Amino acid sequence: MKYDLEYVLNSASDGIFIITHDHRLVLFNRACEDLYDISQKDLVNKACWKLESLKKLANLKARLGKSHSYGELASTKERMTLTHKSGKEVWVETIYTPIFDQDNGEIAYVLAVIKDISEQKDLEDEKVVLIQQLDEMRTELGSKYDFSNIVGRSSGIIEALKLTGEVARQDTTVLLMGESGTGKELLARAIHFNSRRSLKPFIALNCSAFPDTLIESELFGHEKGAFTGAERYKPGKVQLAEGGTLFLDEVTELTAPAQAKILRLIQERECEPLGSVKIMRADIRIIAATNKNPAKLVDEGKLRKDLYYRLCVFPITLPPLRERPEDIAVLLYSCLTKMNRTLGKNIEGITPRAMDILTAYAWPGNVRELQNLMERMMILCKNSKIDVGDLPGYLSESFRYFKSGWERLDSFPEGTSLENHVRQFEIRVLLNTLKKFGFNKTRAAKALGLKRSTFRYKLAQASKNLSALIPLIN
């Protein structure tokens, strides 16, 4: 069966029309008439305007002595809204294509194709919204992890923030040291979001969470078939962090084989996915963290010396909360303000009695423990202020022991013998050390250079006349 050109074009789902160089309409297919509420005259006027633009461009190239390559002038597009036959407004894109006369090389016709791009336009609009949301999220993350959100006024935290501010804009490897819960990851994120890499990913890896058999795959990824169960390619944390920051938490927990792999990554900034023969460059910044003393681990043979030197380019120590008691009240009220918004509460503050107990507590879990405890107290609080009744029992008990001991120590009458004053001083040292280490006798004894049994004996001897201390040494 023979089909003529008009029949073929009328069968097309897109609107198609053709005009001549002298503005005559030679084809107007059925889709133009059936799909859109637009007249032939309007279409011809639009096409004539585009025709003149195409002629000018063609004449310019001719004067310059340049020939027209295939499709060079076929990219003239126009977007507009038309009324669909269903009655709704739709987005269309008209593509105007010039057809040249083979004899004189001038434009003989202009072919115009009208395509419904409503779905494409919706996707483009959605993409714009998502980009705006992404920018807002980045701004929000940047403000969330701004240095101003790391609360504290003690000399230890101020020194840590000062060092962090100096190194943030560099690509230097940073080692964050401090006990669990002191805010090492928060500080690492603050470094990232205040660096030149802030628009790139921040990827965190807990090195203690993976055995040797998995750490290499988790870090560098693997190819399909690299090992049993590797059914597809999987990128590692290094690839995911490309251009950004890789945070290696608890890096000193790695075993010797894993340490060697990390050393190469830090030293050469390259990696090799499991099952691959291709070396991949790693454009990343590395921030590591540990809750142990890395120098001591080197002496004990648990940490490679060369890895230690590579990690410890710019060390920053976050002091535990017990060593900065002046920050406790500030942190408590900072949490109060944030959690009032999060929990929808309107708690005004903390009573003086409750604050005495909270500031006297040793906080062995550091800032993380304080935040979690504050959330619990705010949920339980039924009044305008957090009071002693909202505190967990163990806080009140530890405070009672501490307060009773000090009251007994201060009750020595005038004229007390030198021996009793020495005993008083010894008890103060023992009690302060106990408080500093969260009433952990093993750690307190170690800090004083004593065996635990010796510490217990001295505490028992020194507190014979202080019955309030007896629960501490049982």
CA-based angle 455:474:419, to the nearest 5?
45
The torsion angles phi and psi of 59, rounded to 5 degrees, stand at -65, -40
Query: What is the per-residue pLDDT for 298?
Result: 94
Q: Which domains does the chain have, with CATH numbers?
A: 5-118 (3.30.450.20), 141-319 (3.40.50.300), 324-391 (1.10.8.60), 397-473 (no CATH)
- Report which residue type is found at 250: E
What's the number of CA atoms in the CB half-sphere (13 Å) around residue 239? 17
Query: What is the per-residue pLDDT for 247?
Result: 95
pTM > 0.85: yes or no: no
Query: What is the per-residue pLDDT for 356?
Result: 80
Residue 162's CB is within 10 A of a number of other CB atoms, namely 11
Written as one string, the DSSP assignment of 391-443 is S-HHHHHHHHHHHHHHHHHTTPPTT--HHHHHHHHHHHHHHHHHHHTTT-HHH
- Bridge partners, 274 (sequence order): 222
Query: What is the per-residue pLDDT for 419?
Result: 63
Nearest CA to 164 among 182, 150, 144, 143? 150
Query: What is the per-residue pLDDT for 273?
Result: 80
- Report which residue type is found at 147: F
Query: What is the per-residue pLDDT for 473?
Result: 37
pLDDT tens string, the chain, 474 residues long: the values are 445 776 777 777 787 877 777 777 777 777 776 666 666 666 666 666 566 666 666 565 555 555 555 444 455 677 777 776 677 777 878 787 777 777 777 777 777 787 888 888 888 888 787 777 666 665 555 455 555 667 778 888 889 888 998 999 999 999 999 999 998 998 999 899 889 998 899 999 998 888 777 888 888 887 877 677 777 888 889 999 999 999 999 999 988 888 888 898 898 888 888 777 788 888 999 999 999 999 999 999 999 999 999 999 999 999 988 888 888 888 999 889 889 988 898 999 999 888 888 887 878 889 999 999 999 999 988 889 998 888 887 776 655 544 544 444 445 445 555 665 666 677 777 777 877 776 677 778 888 888 777 776 676 665 554 443 333 333
